[in-house]
Structure 1
Amino acid sequence: MHIIIYSIIVLGATMIGAITGLGGGIIIKPAFDFVGIDTTSMISVYSTVAVFTMCLVSIYKRSKQGFHVQKQIALGLAFGSIIGGKIGDVIFLQAVDSWGSQAVSATQSVILFLLLAGIILFTLNKESIRTLEVTNLVAIVTIGLTVGMISVYLGIGGGPLNIALLVYFFSMKAKDAAAYSILMIFFAQIIKMGTVIRDFEKYNNVSLVILAIAIFAVLGGWIGTKIQSKLTHEAVEKLYLGLMAILVFMTAFNVFKFIGV
């Protein structure tokens, strides 16, 4: 039964993630926490598989649609995301060993709630905020590193933070930011995905769940990217904001659940 629930969540999450640039992890993590079937470590594995698969599909489809990136920004963010993803994975594993799964889940939910609330405030007021156009390679790599580290630690793929930072530091429009965000998420998840593949024997008892998640992530990424190509920047931004509002409430619920209130 939980395979069906997870598959539905992954399909919806990756479809919306591909449209908005959120990646899907930001939906999968709190949704799986809400269902409450698996541990934080297993949810992180499922989220990684779904997000990585969706990104592969989305990047391929965008390349076929003729989307071109600015190489210095794309490569700088990608390089930083790989390093940050590795750091975030190490911090996550050490935190689970030191504090336990329940405490880490509570910490993740609190940090995620604060991030989402801040991102919503930024997005609603961005017209009155002077954005930048960063071109320095070191700064670009640092931005990628920071986002990669936070996103992998939280198990969310990084989408919401990516979008806000891309809009602020590079003055991007919603659809362009979504494309770069997917690229950043892909590279941030490479190290984590490598770990999952290396340790796959540990997950033999849930191999069907992982296969189902990968299949529905492919479908979600394909459908979402196709839909996004037909939408305006304004429509993508409205969907993004609506989703952020829903996730704030879901994350707040998870905070209260994990701290036992």
Structure 2
Amino acid sequence: MIIQDLSHLSAPTIILLLATGIIIGFLLALTGGGGSVVCVPLLLYMVKIEDTHLVIGTSAMAVAVSALFALFSHAINGNVRWKIGLEISAVAITGALLGAELGKMVSAKYLLLPFSLLMLIIAVLMAGKSRRHADTFSAGHCCFHPVIAWIAVFTVGVIAGFLGIGGGFLVVPLLVWCFRFSMVEAVATSLMVVFAMGVSTSASYATAGKFSVIITAWLIAGGIIGGWLGSQLANRLSNNQKVINGLFSAMLAMMAFYMLYKNL
């Protein structure tokens, strides 16, 4: 059954779902990524939804819609590169569909282990980013052949579909290094790619009955609020971005170690 019967959610569960959505939307709008990678552990261990595949299929759609609202906020400022973003999204969708099919064939336990390790990698990368200026993370360092760039887009799609993540934290540097986007353009346009991959992944899981409309609705409601807050803050925190990255990396590391503890 595609639509899971979860209409009996308690008030505390609904509050936790809203809080999760706010966190996702806020991080997506503020950094172009990160919100998606915390969604799965929050739903598993804070909201306490036990079905990992259901969590992945549902969170993918919630992250996608949150990214869409954040995309609109950034589009108002003219930072989205629509044409190339659509081309990148098309390739990423192909990878995400393949990744989702592979993910559905893997036991939940074996999905969470690579997910935890990926969180640790992201935490390290974010911590490193917090120690340097954004200027060093610039398009001027781009030296990749176009074939390699498009293979990288497809690979990011596969990873996003397999683990049920938005992949913004991977898309942003890819757009900067391989497609010569400015950081602002990369953050804004990555939201389009995150939306495309999230919808594709969720649709694939829905065909296997691993999707909940009710949970998604509450996460989206929170995501709208968080996305608006994050987009309002995005243009005002350039001087404090290092602190934000450092705190975010510490949070990811703690969640990753907890997931490893629970699954080893």
TM-score normalised by the shorter chain: which range applies?
0.7 to 0.9
Instruction: Report the counterpart of residue 71 of structure 1 in structure 2.
Output: 83
Instruction: Report the counterpart of residue 98 of structure 2 in structure 1.
Output: 87
Structure 1: state its 5+ residue gaps. none
Q: Is the 8 A contact 2:127 2:245 kept in 1?
A: no
* CA distance 1:160–1:211, change in 2 (3 Å): same
Instruction: Report the counterpart of residue 15 of structure 1 in structure 2.
Output: 26
CA-atom RMSD, angstroms?
3.0
How many residues are matched? 250
* CA distance 1:173–1:253, change in 2 (3 Å): farther
State the alpha-carbon separation in 1 of the partners of residues 208 and 101 from structure 2: 15
Q: What is the CA-CA distance between 1:243 and the residue it aligns to?
A: 0.9
Matched, 1:214 2:195: no
Q: What is the CA-CA distance between 1:121 and the residue it aligns to?
A: 3.7
Structure 2: state its 5+ residue gaps. 1-11
Q: Is the 8 A contact 1:86 1:149 kept in 2?
A: yes
Cα deviation 1:89-143 (Å, max 9, x = unaligned): 1111111xxxx22232223212332343345446646849996336854333222
Aligned-partner residue type, residue 191 of structure 1 = S
Q: Is the 8 A contact 1:23 1:55 kept in 2?
A: no
State the alpha-carbon separation in 2 of the partners of residues 27 and 154 from structure 1: 12
* CA distance 1:146–1:119, change in 2 (3 Å): farther
TM-score w.r.t. the length of structure 2 is 0.80
157-166 or 129-138: which moved more?
129-138
Q: Is the 8 A contact 1:82 1:188 kept in 2?
A: yes
State the alpha-carbon separation in 2 of the partners of residues 246 and 8 from structure 1: 16
Alignment of 1:102-113 (within 5 A): 102-113=109-120
% same residue: 20
Matched, 1:141 2:150: yes
Q: What is the CA-CA distance between 1:182 and the residue it aligns to?
A: 1.2
* CA distance 1:209–1:79, change in 2 (3 Å): closer
Please point out which of 174, 188, 194 is paired with 1:165: 174
Instruction: Report the counterpart of residue 244 of structure 1 in structure 2.
Output: 249
State the alpha-carbon separation in 1 of the partners of residues 206 and 163 from structure 2: 20
Aligned-partner residue type, residue 105 of structure 1 = L
Q: What is the CA-CA distance between 1:147 and the residue it aligns to?
A: 1.3
Cα deviation 1:204-259 (Å, max 9, x = unaligned): xx543332112222222233223324443x54454234312210221111111111
Alignment of 1:223-242 (within 5 A): 223-232=229-238, 234-236=239-241, 238-242=243-247
Q: What is the CA-CA distance between 1:199 and the residue it aligns to?
A: 6.2
TM-score w.r.t. the length of structure 1 is 0.81
Instruction: Report the counterpart of residue 192 of structure 1 in structure 2.
Output: 201
Aligned-partner residue type, residue 39 of structure 2 = I
The structure with the largest helix share of the pair is: 1
Please point out which of 53, 58, 61 is paired with 1:49: 61
* CA distance 1:37–1:197, change in 2 (3 Å): closer
Q: Is the 8 A contact 2:21 2:218 kept in 1?
A: no
